[in-house]
Protein backbone atom coordinates (compact mmCIF):
# COMPACT_ATOMS: atom_id res chain seq x y z
CA UNK A 1 0.00 0.00 0.00
CA UNK A 2 2.88 2.38 0.63
CA UNK A 3 4.29 4.65 -2.02
CA UNK A 4 7.71 3.54 -3.10
CA UNK A 5 9.71 6.32 -1.52
CA UNK A 6 13.42 6.68 -0.92
CA UNK A 7 12.69 8.11 2.51
CA UNK A 8 11.10 4.93 3.78
CA UNK A 9 13.00 3.86 6.87
CA UNK A 10 15.57 1.23 5.97
CA UNK A 11 15.13 -2.03 7.91
CA UNK A 12 18.52 -1.54 9.54
CA UNK A 13 17.54 1.84 10.91
CA UNK A 14 14.27 0.42 12.14
CA UNK A 15 16.04 -2.43 13.91
CA UNK A 16 18.37 0.07 15.49
CA UNK A 17 15.38 1.54 17.26
CA UNK A 18 15.71 -0.59 20.32
CA UNK A 19 13.22 -0.92 23.11
CA UNK A 20 15.64 0.98 25.32
CA UNK A 21 15.81 3.92 22.90
CA UNK A 22 12.06 3.93 22.70
CA UNK A 23 11.63 4.03 26.45
CA UNK A 24 14.23 6.76 26.71
CA UNK A 25 12.42 8.97 24.25
CA UNK A 26 9.06 8.25 25.78
CA UNK A 27 10.23 9.26 29.20
CA UNK A 28 12.00 12.33 27.85
CA UNK A 29 8.71 13.52 26.46
CA UNK A 30 6.97 15.60 29.09
CA UNK A 31 4.31 13.68 30.94
CA UNK A 32 4.83 10.47 29.05
CA UNK A 33 6.56 8.38 31.70
CA UNK A 34 5.25 4.86 31.97
CA UNK A 35 4.19 4.59 28.37
CA UNK A 36 3.00 1.11 27.50
CA UNK A 37 4.92 -0.56 24.72
CA UNK A 38 3.33 -2.15 21.72
CA UNK A 39 6.03 -4.27 20.15
CA UNK A 40 6.71 -4.37 16.48
CA UNK A 41 4.45 -6.93 14.91
CA UNK A 42 6.06 -10.30 14.44
CA UNK A 43 4.98 -12.75 11.75
CA UNK A 44 2.33 -14.26 13.99
CA UNK A 45 0.66 -10.99 14.86
CA UNK A 46 -2.53 -10.30 12.99
CA UNK A 47 -2.38 -7.04 11.09
CA UNK A 48 -4.99 -4.63 9.90
CA UNK A 49 -5.50 -5.11 6.19
CA UNK A 50 -3.78 -1.96 5.04
CA UNK A 51 -0.62 -2.27 7.10
CA UNK A 52 -0.03 -5.96 6.42
CA UNK A 53 3.52 -6.78 5.43
CA UNK A 54 5.15 -3.67 6.82
CA UNK A 55 6.53 -2.89 10.24
CA UNK A 56 6.01 0.76 9.51
CA UNK A 57 2.81 2.61 10.20
CA UNK A 58 2.84 5.90 8.32
CA UNK A 59 0.69 8.65 9.74
CA UNK A 60 -0.73 11.92 8.45
CA UNK A 61 -1.42 14.83 10.78
CA UNK A 62 -4.40 16.93 9.66
CA UNK A 63 -4.73 20.02 11.86
CA UNK A 64 -1.29 20.88 13.26
CA UNK A 65 -2.16 22.91 16.36
CA UNK A 66 -1.67 22.26 20.04
CA UNK A 67 -3.64 19.03 20.25
CA UNK A 68 -2.50 17.74 16.88
CA UNK A 69 1.14 18.20 17.82
CA UNK A 70 0.58 16.41 21.12
CA UNK A 71 -1.41 13.60 19.50
CA UNK A 72 1.32 13.11 16.91
CA UNK A 73 4.02 12.76 19.57
CA UNK A 74 1.81 10.32 21.43
CA UNK A 75 1.25 8.31 18.24
CA UNK A 76 5.02 8.21 17.64
CA UNK A 77 5.58 7.04 21.20
CA UNK A 78 2.81 4.47 21.06
CA UNK A 79 4.58 2.20 18.60
CA UNK A 80 8.19 2.23 17.39
CA UNK A 81 7.04 1.56 13.83
CA UNK A 82 5.05 4.80 13.56
CA UNK A 83 6.51 7.39 11.19
CA UNK A 84 5.07 10.86 10.64
CA UNK A 85 4.78 11.00 6.86
CA UNK A 86 2.58 13.94 5.86
CA UNK A 87 0.98 17.02 7.37
CA UNK A 88 -1.86 19.34 6.44
CA UNK A 89 -3.04 22.59 7.96
CA UNK A 90 -4.94 25.62 6.75
CA UNK A 91 -2.08 27.84 7.90
CA UNK A 92 1.55 27.32 6.88
CA UNK A 93 3.01 28.71 10.08
CA UNK A 94 0.99 26.31 12.23
CA UNK A 95 2.31 23.38 10.25
CA UNK A 96 5.88 24.65 10.49
CA UNK A 97 5.81 25.17 14.24
CA UNK A 98 4.16 21.80 14.78
CA UNK A 99 6.77 20.02 12.66
CA UNK A 100 9.53 21.81 14.55
CA UNK A 101 8.02 20.87 17.92
CA UNK A 102 7.55 17.24 16.96
CA UNK A 103 11.09 16.97 15.56
CA UNK A 104 12.63 18.55 18.65
CA UNK A 105 10.67 16.26 20.94
CA UNK A 106 11.72 13.18 19.01
CA UNK A 107 15.35 14.24 19.34
CA UNK A 108 17.75 11.55 18.05
CA UNK A 109 14.88 9.65 16.52
CA UNK A 110 13.58 12.54 14.44
CA UNK A 111 15.48 11.57 11.28
CA UNK A 112 13.96 8.12 11.24
CA UNK A 113 10.53 8.89 12.67
CA UNK A 114 9.67 12.32 11.26
CA UNK A 115 9.86 12.15 7.48
CA UNK A 116 7.90 15.11 6.20
CA UNK A 117 9.77 16.81 3.35
CA UNK A 118 8.30 19.96 1.81
CA UNK A 119 6.63 17.78 -0.82
CA UNK A 120 4.44 16.22 1.89
CA UNK A 121 3.55 19.45 3.70
CA UNK A 122 0.21 20.79 2.54
CA UNK A 123 -1.62 23.99 3.39
CA UNK A 124 -5.04 25.49 2.76
CA UNK A 125 -8.59 24.29 3.28
CA UNK A 126 -8.09 21.27 1.02
CA UNK A 127 -4.76 20.27 2.56
CA UNK A 128 -6.37 17.24 4.17
CA UNK A 129 -6.78 15.54 0.80
CA UNK A 130 -3.15 15.38 -0.33
CA UNK A 131 -2.02 14.73 3.26
CA UNK A 132 -4.33 11.70 3.46
CA UNK A 133 -3.47 10.62 -0.10
CA UNK A 134 0.29 10.66 0.60
CA UNK A 135 0.46 6.91 1.20
CA UNK A 136 -0.28 6.80 4.91
CA UNK A 137 -1.99 4.14 7.04
CA UNK A 138 -3.38 6.24 9.88
CA UNK A 139 -4.72 9.80 9.94
CA UNK A 140 -4.80 12.00 13.03
CA UNK A 141 -7.69 14.44 12.54
CA UNK A 142 -7.16 17.30 14.92
CA UNK A 143 -8.40 20.43 13.18
CA UNK A 144 -11.44 22.45 14.19
CA UNK A 145 -14.65 20.55 14.99
CA UNK A 146 -16.53 22.05 12.01
CA UNK A 147 -14.37 20.10 9.57
CA UNK A 148 -14.25 16.78 11.42
CA UNK A 149 -17.04 14.99 9.52
CA UNK A 150 -15.52 15.88 6.12
CA UNK A 151 -11.99 14.89 7.10
CA UNK A 152 -13.18 11.68 8.73
CA UNK A 153 -15.29 10.71 5.72
CA UNK A 154 -12.45 11.29 3.32
CA UNK A 155 -9.98 9.27 5.42
CA UNK A 156 -12.29 6.27 5.75
CA UNK A 157 -13.21 6.36 2.06
CA UNK A 158 -9.47 6.19 1.40
CA UNK A 159 -9.15 3.17 3.74
CA UNK A 160 -7.20 4.87 6.51
CA UNK A 161 -7.34 4.17 10.23
CA UNK A 162 -8.39 7.31 12.11
CA UNK A 163 -7.82 9.06 15.39
CA UNK A 164 -10.13 12.10 15.53
CA UNK A 165 -10.41 14.63 18.31
CA UNK A 166 -13.65 15.45 20.08
CA UNK A 167 -16.25 16.75 19.44
CA UNK A 168 -17.07 14.82 16.27
CA UNK A 169 -19.07 17.70 14.78
CA UNK A 170 -20.77 21.02 15.52
CA UNK A 171 -24.26 20.22 14.23
CA UNK A 172 -26.81 17.50 13.53
CA UNK A 173 -25.78 17.12 9.90
CA UNK A 174 -22.20 16.50 11.00
CA UNK A 175 -23.21 13.98 13.64
CA UNK A 176 -25.31 12.01 11.14
CA UNK A 177 -22.39 12.00 8.72
CA UNK A 178 -20.01 10.71 11.39
CA UNK A 179 -22.42 7.94 12.38
CA UNK A 180 -22.61 6.81 8.73
CA UNK A 181 -18.84 6.99 8.34
CA UNK A 182 -18.34 5.02 11.55
CA UNK A 183 -20.46 2.22 10.04
CA UNK A 184 -18.38 2.32 6.87
CA UNK A 185 -15.21 2.16 8.97
CA UNK A 186 -16.56 -0.86 10.81
CA UNK A 187 -17.35 -2.63 7.56
CA UNK A 188 -13.76 -2.01 6.43
CA UNK A 189 -12.23 -2.99 9.81
CA UNK A 190 -10.71 0.47 10.17
CA UNK A 191 -10.01 2.20 13.46
CA UNK A 192 -12.04 5.26 14.42
CA UNK A 193 -11.03 6.48 17.84
CA UNK A 194 -12.53 9.73 19.13
CA UNK A 195 -10.43 11.75 21.57
CA UNK A 196 -12.65 11.48 24.62
CA UNK A 197 -9.42 10.92 26.48
CA UNK A 198 -10.89 10.49 29.96
CA UNK A 199 -12.27 7.16 28.75
CA UNK A 200 -8.61 6.06 28.80
CA UNK A 201 -7.68 7.45 32.22
CA UNK A 202 -6.93 4.68 34.72
CA UNK A 203 -8.69 6.27 37.69
CA UNK A 204 -11.72 7.23 35.62
CA UNK A 205 -12.02 3.79 34.06
CA UNK A 206 -11.90 2.12 37.49
CA UNK A 207 -14.48 4.52 38.93
CA UNK A 208 -16.94 4.34 36.05
CA UNK A 209 -16.55 0.54 35.94
CA UNK A 210 -17.57 0.52 39.60
CA UNK A 211 -20.53 2.83 38.98
CA UNK A 212 -21.65 0.80 35.98
CA UNK A 213 -21.40 -2.43 37.97
CA UNK A 214 -23.85 -1.11 40.55
CA UNK A 215 -21.55 -0.01 43.42
CA UNK A 216 -23.75 3.00 44.22
CA UNK A 217 -26.98 1.32 43.16
CA UNK A 218 -29.25 2.61 40.45
CA UNK A 219 -28.26 6.08 39.27
CA UNK A 220 -30.96 8.58 40.29
CA UNK A 221 -29.31 11.87 39.43
CA UNK A 222 -25.99 13.30 38.39
CA UNK A 223 -24.36 16.67 37.87
CA UNK A 224 -21.23 17.30 35.84
CA UNK A 225 -19.44 20.64 35.80
CA UNK A 226 -16.94 22.31 33.47
CA UNK A 227 -16.35 25.75 34.93
CA UNK A 228 -13.25 27.57 33.67
CA UNK A 229 -12.00 30.98 32.62
CA UNK A 230 -12.48 32.28 29.13
CA UNK A 231 -10.36 31.25 26.16
CA UNK A 232 -7.95 33.69 24.56
CA UNK A 233 -8.84 36.20 21.88
CA UNK A 234 -6.79 37.27 18.89
CA UNK A 235 -7.39 40.90 17.92
CA UNK A 236 -8.08 41.40 14.24
CA UNK A 237 -5.12 42.21 12.01
CA UNK A 238 -5.79 44.52 9.05
CA UNK A 239 -4.70 41.87 6.54
CA UNK A 240 -7.15 39.26 7.86
CA UNK A 241 -10.34 38.60 5.93
CA UNK A 242 -13.56 37.89 7.84
CA UNK A 243 -13.00 34.19 7.51
CA UNK A 244 -9.39 34.32 8.67
CA UNK A 245 -10.43 36.43 11.66
CA UNK A 246 -13.00 33.79 12.61
CA UNK A 247 -10.61 30.90 12.07
CA UNK A 248 -8.01 32.60 14.28
CA UNK A 249 -10.66 33.02 17.01
CA UNK A 250 -12.36 29.73 16.30
CA UNK A 251 -13.44 28.89 19.88
CA UNK A 252 -15.83 31.84 19.85
CA UNK A 253 -17.68 31.12 16.61
CA UNK A 254 -20.44 28.56 16.86
CA UNK A 255 -20.14 27.37 13.28
CA UNK A 256 -16.49 26.41 13.84
CA UNK A 257 -16.39 25.18 17.45
CA UNK A 258 -20.01 24.36 18.25
CA UNK A 259 -19.74 26.80 21.23
CA UNK A 260 -17.92 25.83 24.41
CA UNK A 261 -20.52 23.37 25.65
CA UNK A 262 -19.78 21.35 22.51
CA UNK A 263 -16.09 22.08 22.09
CA UNK A 264 -14.86 21.88 25.68
CA UNK A 265 -17.55 20.74 28.09
CA UNK A 266 -18.37 17.75 25.90
CA UNK A 267 -15.79 15.86 27.99
CA UNK A 268 -18.01 16.22 31.06
CA UNK A 269 -21.18 15.49 29.13
CA UNK A 270 -19.46 12.37 27.84
CA UNK A 271 -18.65 11.28 31.40
CA UNK A 272 -22.23 11.98 32.47
CA UNK A 273 -23.32 9.69 29.66
CA UNK A 274 -20.74 7.09 30.76
CA UNK A 275 -22.29 7.05 34.26
CA UNK A 276 -25.66 6.14 32.76
CA UNK A 277 -24.17 3.32 30.71
CA UNK A 278 -24.38 5.60 27.66
CA UNK A 279 -28.14 5.69 27.62
CA UNK A 280 -29.85 8.04 25.20
CA UNK A 281 -31.67 10.95 26.89
CA UNK A 282 -35.24 11.68 25.85
CA UNK A 283 -34.80 15.44 25.86
CA UNK A 284 -32.88 18.37 27.23
CA UNK A 285 -33.82 21.75 28.63
CA UNK A 286 -30.85 24.06 28.68
CA UNK A 287 -30.47 27.60 29.93
CA UNK A 288 -27.62 29.75 28.71
CA UNK A 289 -26.44 33.19 27.77
CA UNK A 290 -23.57 35.59 27.58
CA UNK A 291 -22.80 37.65 30.64
CA UNK A 292 -19.15 38.61 30.40
CA UNK A 293 -17.94 38.10 26.84
CA UNK A 294 -17.40 41.25 24.83
CA UNK A 295 -15.88 42.32 21.54
CA UNK A 296 -15.91 41.02 18.00
CA UNK A 297 -13.34 38.34 18.87
CA UNK A 298 -15.96 36.72 21.10
CA UNK A 299 -17.99 35.92 18.02
CA UNK A 300 -21.44 34.56 18.73
CA UNK A 301 -20.79 32.10 21.54
CA UNK A 302 -22.42 32.05 24.95
CA UNK A 303 -20.33 31.98 28.12
CA UNK A 304 -22.51 29.82 30.36
CA UNK A 305 -24.95 26.93 30.02
CA UNK A 306 -27.02 24.83 32.44
CA UNK A 307 -28.53 21.69 30.93
CA UNK A 308 -31.03 19.21 32.34
CA UNK A 309 -31.30 15.93 30.46
CA UNK A 310 -34.33 13.72 31.10
CA UNK A 311 -34.22 9.95 30.64
CA UNK A 312 -36.86 7.28 30.46
CA UNK A 313 -37.65 6.15 34.01
CA UNK A 314 -37.22 9.63 35.49
CA UNK A 315 -33.44 10.02 35.70
CA UNK A 316 -32.36 13.64 35.43
CA UNK A 317 -28.80 14.43 34.54
CA UNK A 318 -27.50 17.96 34.99
CA UNK A 319 -24.58 19.67 33.38
CA UNK A 320 -23.30 23.20 33.94
CA UNK A 321 -20.42 24.89 32.13
CA UNK A 322 -19.01 28.36 32.24
CA UNK A 323 -16.11 30.19 30.63
CA UNK A 324 -15.93 33.39 32.65
CA UNK A 325 -12.82 34.84 34.26
CA UNK A 326 -12.77 35.60 37.97
CA UNK A 327 -15.09 32.76 38.96
CA UNK A 328 -14.13 29.49 40.65
CA UNK A 329 -13.13 26.60 38.42
CA UNK A 330 -14.61 23.13 38.77
CA UNK A 331 -14.58 20.01 36.69
CA UNK A 332 -16.28 17.39 38.81
CA UNK A 333 -18.85 14.67 38.23
CA UNK A 334 -21.26 14.24 41.15
CA UNK A 335 -23.20 11.02 40.72
CA UNK A 336 -26.01 9.89 43.03
CA UNK A 337 -27.43 6.38 43.24
CA UNK A 338 -29.89 4.47 45.40
CA UNK A 339 -27.02 3.10 47.56
CA UNK A 340 -24.64 6.03 47.64
CA UNK A 341 -22.72 8.53 45.55
CA UNK A 342 -19.54 8.91 43.54
CA UNK A 343 -17.34 11.95 43.10
CA UNK A 344 -15.02 12.07 40.13
CA UNK A 345 -12.49 14.77 39.34
CA UNK A 346 -9.53 14.35 37.03
CA UNK A 347 -8.05 17.81 37.66
CA UNK A 348 -7.74 17.38 41.44
CA UNK A 349 -7.57 13.61 41.39
CA UNK A 350 -10.69 12.40 43.20
CA UNK A 351 -12.11 9.00 42.40
CA UNK A 352 -14.30 7.73 45.22
CA UNK A 353 -17.65 6.37 46.28
CA UNK A 354 -19.60 7.06 49.46
CA UNK A 355 -22.57 5.41 51.16
CA UNK A 356 -25.86 7.11 51.95
CA UNK A 357 -24.36 8.42 55.21
CA UNK A 358 -21.63 10.09 53.15
CA UNK A 359 -18.96 7.71 54.50
CA UNK A 360 -16.30 6.84 51.96
CA UNK A 361 -16.69 3.26 50.79
CA UNK A 362 -14.01 3.14 48.10
CA UNK A 363 -11.18 5.22 46.75
CA UNK A 364 -9.13 4.54 43.65
CA UNK A 365 -5.67 3.30 44.60
CA UNK A 366 -4.40 1.89 41.31
CA UNK A 367 -1.67 3.25 39.09
CA UNK A 368 -1.64 6.97 38.48
CA UNK A 369 1.52 7.28 36.45
CA UNK A 370 0.04 6.96 32.96
CA UNK A 371 -0.83 9.94 30.82
CA UNK A 372 -4.33 9.35 29.44
CA UNK A 373 -3.47 10.88 26.07
CA UNK A 374 -0.58 8.46 25.73
CA UNK A 375 -2.71 5.54 26.88
CA UNK A 376 -5.37 6.25 24.26
CA UNK A 377 -2.77 6.19 21.50
CA UNK A 378 -1.10 3.08 22.96
CA UNK A 379 -4.47 1.34 22.87
CA UNK A 380 -5.28 2.61 19.38
CA UNK A 381 -2.04 1.48 17.75
CA UNK A 382 -2.06 -1.85 19.58
CA UNK A 383 -5.58 -2.47 18.31
CA UNK A 384 -4.45 -1.71 14.76
CA UNK A 385 -1.46 -4.03 15.12
CA UNK A 386 -3.72 -6.72 16.55
CA UNK A 387 -6.12 -6.49 13.61
CA UNK A 388 -8.99 -5.52 15.92
CA UNK A 389 -9.05 -1.74 15.48
CA UNK A 390 -10.95 0.28 18.05
CA UNK A 391 -14.01 2.04 16.65
CA UNK A 392 -15.78 4.19 19.24
CA UNK A 393 -16.97 6.85 16.80
CA UNK A 394 -20.68 6.09 17.25
CA UNK A 395 -20.31 6.58 20.99
CA UNK A 396 -18.34 9.77 20.37
CA UNK A 397 -21.12 10.98 18.08
CA UNK A 398 -23.68 10.20 20.79
CA UNK A 399 -21.88 12.35 23.38
CA UNK A 400 -21.27 15.12 20.86
CA UNK A 401 -24.98 15.19 19.96
CA UNK A 402 -25.88 15.41 23.65
CA UNK A 403 -23.82 18.61 23.83
CA UNK A 404 -25.18 19.94 20.53
CA UNK A 405 -28.80 19.40 21.61
CA UNK A 406 -28.14 21.34 24.82
CA UNK A 407 -26.76 24.24 22.77
CA UNK A 408 -29.83 24.11 20.52
CA UNK A 409 -32.05 24.24 23.58
CA UNK A 410 -30.13 27.13 25.16
CA UNK A 411 -30.09 29.18 21.96
CA UNK A 412 -33.81 28.74 21.33
CA UNK A 413 -35.06 28.54 24.92
CA UNK A 414 -37.04 25.40 24.02
CA UNK A 415 -36.86 21.77 25.11
CA UNK A 416 -35.12 19.70 22.44
CA UNK A 417 -35.78 15.99 22.12
CA UNK A 418 -33.14 13.49 21.08
CA UNK A 419 -35.09 12.75 17.89
CA UNK A 420 -35.37 16.44 17.05
CA UNK A 421 -31.65 16.87 17.52
CA UNK A 422 -30.78 13.78 15.52
CA UNK A 423 -33.05 14.79 12.64
CA UNK A 424 -32.57 18.54 12.71
CA UNK A 425 -31.80 20.28 9.43
CA UNK A 426 -29.31 22.49 11.24
CA UNK A 427 -26.14 22.59 9.19
CA UNK A 428 -23.73 25.30 10.27
CA UNK A 429 -20.71 24.64 8.08
CA UNK A 430 -20.53 26.03 4.52
CA UNK A 431 -19.73 23.41 1.88
CA UNK A 432 -16.89 25.41 0.40
CA UNK A 433 -14.73 28.02 2.04
CA UNK A 434 -12.48 30.72 0.68
CA UNK A 435 -10.77 33.47 2.61
CA UNK A 436 -12.93 36.55 2.18
CA UNK A 437 -16.22 37.91 3.53
CA UNK A 438 -17.94 35.60 5.98
CA UNK A 439 -21.20 36.70 7.59
CA UNK A 440 -22.28 34.84 10.71
CA UNK A 441 -25.51 34.79 12.72
CA UNK A 442 -25.96 37.23 15.61
CA UNK A 443 -25.92 36.05 19.20
CA UNK A 444 -28.88 33.74 19.78
CA UNK A 445 -31.76 35.07 21.90
CA UNK A 446 -33.64 32.37 23.84
CA UNK A 447 -37.36 32.55 23.09
CA UNK A 448 -36.70 34.26 19.75
CA UNK A 449 -34.09 32.18 17.91
CA UNK A 450 -35.61 29.24 16.08
CA UNK A 451 -34.45 25.65 15.69
CA UNK A 452 -33.75 24.54 12.12
Ligand X SMILES: NC(=O)c1ccc[n+]([C@@H]2O[C@H](COP(=O)([O-])OP(=O)(O)OC[C@H]3O[C@@H](n4cnc5c(N)ncnc54)[C@H](O)[C@@H]3O)[C@@H](O)[C@H]2O)c1
Q: Tell me whether residue 240 or residue 362 sits nearer to ligand X (CB atom).
A: 240
Rounded CA gap, 65 and 97, in Å? Answer: 9
Q: Which of residues 218-277 bind ligand X (CB under 6 A)?
A: 263
**Using rule CB under 6 A, residue 64 touches ligand X:** yes
Q: Smallest gap, in angstroms, from Cβ of residue 173 to ligand X? A: 16
The one among 134, 182, 197, 384 contacting ligand X by CB under 6 A: 197
Angle at which helices 372-385 and 202-212 cross, to 10°: 80
**Using rule CB under 6 A, residue 125 touches ligand X:** yes
The one among 32, 50, 59, 68 contacting ligand X by CB under 6 A: 68
The one among 57, 59, 62, 405 contacting ligand X by CB under 6 A: 62
In 3D space, the residue among 411, 407, 410, 403 whose CA is nearest the CA of residue 444 turns out to be 411
In 3D space, the residue among 431, 240, 433, 450 whose CA is nearest the CA of residue 441 turns out to be 450
Q: Smallest gap, in angstroms, from Cβ of residue 62 to ligand X? A: 6
**Using rule CB under 6 A, residue 76 touches ligand X:** no
**Using rule CB under 6 A, residue 435 touches ligand X:** no
Q: Smallest gap, in angstroms, from Cβ of residue 197 to ligand X? A: 5
Other CB atoms within a 10 A radius of the CB of residue 429 amount to: 19
Q: Tell me whether residue 109 or residue 375 sits nearer to ligand X (CB atom).
A: 375
Q: Smallest gap, in angstroms, from Cβ of residue 88 to ligand X? A: 5
Q: Which of residues 134-193 bind ligand X (CB under 6 A)?
A: 142-145, 147, 165-166
In 3D space, the residue among 157, 150, 154 whose CA is nearest the CA of residue 184 turns out to be 157
**How far is CA 296 from its chain centroid?**
27
Q: Smallest gap, in angstroms, from Cβ of residue 266 to ligand X? A: 8
Q: Tell me whether residue 357 or residue 431 sits nearer to ligand X (CB atom).
A: 431
Q: How many CA atoms lie within 13 A of 251 on its CB side?
A: 15
Q: Give SS3 for 58.
A: strand
Using the 8-state DSSP alphabet, how is residue 245 labeled? Answer: H
In 3D space, the residue among 398, 342, 311, 332 whose CA is nearest the CA of residue 214 turns out to be 342
Q: Smallest gap, in angstroms, from Cβ of residue 326 to ligand X? A: 23
**Using rule CB under 6 A, residue 91 touches ligand X:** yes
The one among 41, 58, 78, 88 contacting ligand X by CB under 6 A: 88
* Number of residues binding to ligand X, judged by CB under 6 A: 25
Pairing of strands 57-62, 82-89: parallel
- Report CA Rg, the chain: 22
Reduced 3-state DSSP string for 176-206: HHHHHHHHHHHHCCCCEEECCHHHHCHHHHH
- Find the part of the chain contacting ligand X (CB under 6 A) among 2-10, 75-83, 84-92, 224-232: 84-92
**Using rule CB under 6 A, residue 90 touches ligand X:** yes
Rounded CA gap, 82 and 55, in Å? Answer: 9
**Using rule CB under 6 A, residue 128 touches ligand X:** yes
Q: Tell me whether residue 88 or residue 389 sits nearer to ligand X (CB atom).
A: 88
Q: Point out which residues bind ligand X (CB under 6 A).
A: 62-68, 88-91, 94, 125, 127-128, 142-145, 147, 165-166, 195, 197, 263
Amino acid sequence: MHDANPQTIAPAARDALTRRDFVKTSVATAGLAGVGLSGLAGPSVARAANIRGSDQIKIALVGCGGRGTGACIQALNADPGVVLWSMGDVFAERLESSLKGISETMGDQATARVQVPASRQFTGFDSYKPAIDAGVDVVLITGYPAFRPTHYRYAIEKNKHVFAEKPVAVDSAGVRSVIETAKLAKSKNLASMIGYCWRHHDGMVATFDKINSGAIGQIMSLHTTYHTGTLSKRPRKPEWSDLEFQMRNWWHFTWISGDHIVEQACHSIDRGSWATGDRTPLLVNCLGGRAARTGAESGNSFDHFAAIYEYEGGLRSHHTCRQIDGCPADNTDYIYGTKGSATVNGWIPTFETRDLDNKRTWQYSGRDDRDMYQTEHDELFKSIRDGAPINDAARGAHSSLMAIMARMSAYTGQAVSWDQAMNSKESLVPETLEFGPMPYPPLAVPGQSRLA
